Chain A
Amino acid sequence: MSPLFCAACSTLFAPPEDADPFALLGLEPAIAVDAGALRKELLRLQRAMHPDFFAGAADETRALAERNTAELNAAYEVLEDEVRRADWLVKRQGGPDENEERQMPQAFLMEVMEWNETLEEARGSEPSSSAREAALELGRELDTERESLVRSVAELLDPLPNTGSDVLVEARRRLNAVRYVDRALRQIEEIRLECRSSSSTS
């Protein structure tokens, strides 16, 4: 049950300090989430706490309805995204954040350099040139790599490791790897859009 709202008496409650996104949506912290049930619970709570519903209430209550709705939406954004969910859980269990655990294997970083070199060549080159094709192919490879990284993080966090466990450090390293992959994927998307706009104008 969400601590933001009592359905029985239609009363709003101020969000607890250090609001836990799982608790706000009435869930126990866990990496596995039933997306359909989560969405349903979001909609139910959004309706119940909707500021319009409290339009005639005291200023204080209306402000609380707005604040709770914002908190609820922010919590949902963390929970619906498997990477953000994992990131939050690693921190919750006392694991390192991306500033505390930044070391990546040299081999991986060399690989990131190579991705960037591929993208550098592709940028500004002709559509359907081999440089472009190489970038798009890299995009497909990175999509697969991202999937397997995210899956492996989910496996590491199920069941939730204890506070201080080395598993949390390993999970953080893999989440860092996802960040490098995402940066490359964003750039590949830009190249793809560049291709599309230049082919439509020609």
Chain B
Amino acid sequence: MAYSDKVLDHYNKPRNVGSLDKAKSTVGTGVVGAPECGDVMKLQIEIEGDRIVDAKFKTFGCGSAIASSSLATEWVKGKTLDEALEIRNTQIVQELSLPPVKIHCSVLAEDAIKAAIADVKTKRESDLKKESA
């Protein structure tokens, strides 16, 4: 199957590969997987206030899964948490021209963003509780 130029570009030059310090209270980590193919994707965000200032990913999977997560890290950077939650997998499909059989890769990326945001929100809430206690 032929990959689109945009997929190949992200696959050959993935943006923001790597890890952030999972233990930091301002870092959110989301790990998601696709049981159909066994792909796994880790996406991390770092926030300042409400804004995402950095994002990293590590994906073990096909070219489309790598491209989807690479694109997701580019898109979330600079957005507020609420804005990042607006990102839909369909936008990723469109941007990367993913074929129907690869749509689940984009779903994975959307799920990873949501999981990372949920994680950092949980951390923030437990910090607030500690402060108020």
Contact = CB atoms under 8 A, between A and B. Distances in A.
Contacts of B38: 112, 179-180, 182-184
Interface string A25-65: 00000000000000000000000000000000000000000
- Interface SS, A side: helix
Interface residues of B, number: 13
Contact of A180 (B40, B42, B58): B40
A182 B36 CA distance: 11
B35 interface: yes
Contacts of A99: 36
A176 B31 CA distance: 16
Interface in A83-135: 98-99, 102, 104, 106, 109-110, 112-113, 116, 120
A112 B33 contact: yes
> What is the predominant secondary structure among interface residues of chain B facing chain A?
strand
B113 to A, nearest CB: 15
Contacts, number: 40
B33 A98 contact: no
B37 A183 contact: yes
Q: What class of interface size applies to chain A in its complex with B?
A: 10 to 19
Contacts of A184: 38
Contact of B60 (A104, A113, A176, A179): A113
Interface in B60-79: 60
Contacts of B60: 112-113, 116, 120
Nearest to A185: B38
A176 B42 CA distance: 18
B7 interface: no
Nearest to A101: B35
Nearest to A175: B35
Interface of A: 98-99, 102, 104, 106, 109-110, 112-113, 116, 120, 176, 179-180, 182-184
